Amino acid sequence: MSTTTRPVTDLTPDELRALAEQAGRDLEGAHPSDVLRWARDVFGHDLVLASSMGDEVLVDLAAKAVPGIDVVFLDTGYHFAETIGTRDYYADFTAVNLRTVLPLRTVAEQDAEHGPRLHDRDPNLCCALRKVEPLERALAPYTAWVTGMRREDAPTRTDITVVGWDAKRAKVKLNPLAAWTQDDVDAYVTEHHVVLNPLREAGYASIGCAPCTRAVAPGEDPRAGRWAGTNKTECGLHT
């Protein structure tokens, strides 16, 4: 198992990358809770989880495996009311330290600068302003971050590891649920009575901002409801 006797804050990017790559090999096949506990032991307070509140299982797992973990929620100004309510539940009733991070501009200020409904005309720019830039600020103090990505989510995610290296940000990136299937997720929800975003009952398999997300039909690809009708598949947080 990958360990280090030096504080992670003293490690060089090359050393952190080597640690992450070795851990990815060591922890492949481990339960997500074990991956999270390994991260807690290695990174301590330099660990953060980023959640859109469409990955409720991950937040539930983290609250139990790493009580008190910092969780950042990017409030884009375009979230469904149900998503904000889910955030409030996890902030108030589980053992996480939830931090809401806002874009530099309100929706009204963005409309004034770029015109209304930027998400329709240039969704990449809208995501850059309302998701990617806020995430950069949110992650800056930390050495490692946790995501809810799974390999079966999308073709762009089939090769993700449970622990890897985020070269763009020079941080360790953990995907504890990488190998889980939807059946695994559903089984965990049932066994642990996980509180889910109510939109799931309305057919929202992948939940993002309201203007760019729709419900999916039975049998339809879970990501088909994101930026439907365009060739956009990622918001830029993981690319």
Instruction: Tell me which H or E stretch contains 96.
Output: strand 96-101
Return d(Cα 22, Cα 17) in angstroms, integer.
9
Bridge-based pairing state of the strands 171-174 and 163-166: antiparallel
**How is residue 157 written in tokens?**
């995610």
Q: Phi and psi (nearest 5°) for 61?
A: -60, -45
The yes-or-no answer on residue 209 being catalytic is: no
With contact defined as beta carbons under 8 Å apart, do 77 and 48 qualify? Answer: no
Asked whether the beta carbons of 54 and 208 are under 8 A apart, the reply is yes
Active site members: 235
